[in-house]
Structures are given as C-alpha cells and as structure tokens.
Amino acid sequence: MSCGGAGCDDCQDGRWKLTECPVVYIGSAMVRRIADALKLVRFARHGLLPVGGGVLNQTIWFRDFCDFAWRHQDAIKAEQQAAAYGY
C-alpha cells in the first residue's frame, strides 16, 4: 500500500477488501507462501513458535488438524459474539 495506511485513492483509510482471487495478481506460489506463513502465525497465537520443538517439529497431519480445529472454533466464537451483540 503506497500510502502506508494513511488512506489514498487506492484504499479506504488504509484498508482494502479482496474481491477476487489473489493468484491473478501475485501468482499461486506467493499465495501458497503467504498461506503457509499465516498458518504459522495462527500456531504462534497458540504458543507454538516455528522453532526447534515448536510447530515445525509436529507432524503435518497434527498441524493441519489443529489449524482446522482452531479455525472452526474461531468461526463459532465469532458467530456467537455476532449473535450476542447483534452484528
């Protein structure tokens, strides 16, 4: 973002909404790298850093299952909060 988040003609107050597949703009390899990095961020939120003994030393199926479970738990929590606050 060229405005550094201050707001400009290309964004709304430093934010933009993704409305089509990002592969068109940055390619599938970069999308995969970003998705992998975001997965590591989700593990870090739960205290598993990508260091020795951390998330990268866990089996792939366990990492994928944790990520699946946490994402669904987060979605359920968001739905419950939306219902509670009338979003």
Q: For binding to Zn ion (CB under 5 A), which residues are involved? A: 1, 3, 8, 10-11
- The nearer residue to Zn ion, 3 or 44, going by C-beta atoms, is 3
Instruction: Give least dist CB 20 to Zn ion, A.
Output: 19
- The nearer residue to Zn ion, 14 or 28, going by C-beta atoms, is 14
- The nearer residue to Zn ion, 12 or 59, going by C-beta atoms, is 12
Instruction: Give least dist CB 16 to Zn ion, A.
Output: 8
Q: How far apart are CA 31 and CA 7, in angstroms?
A: 25
Task: Measure Cα distances from 44 to 33, 53, 57, 66 in Å.
Answer: 17, 13, 14, 12
Q: How far apart are CA 2 and CA 58, in angstroms?
A: 38
Instruction: Give least dist CB 34 to Zn ion, A.
Output: 20
Q: How far apart are CA 70 and CA 41, in angstroms?
A: 12
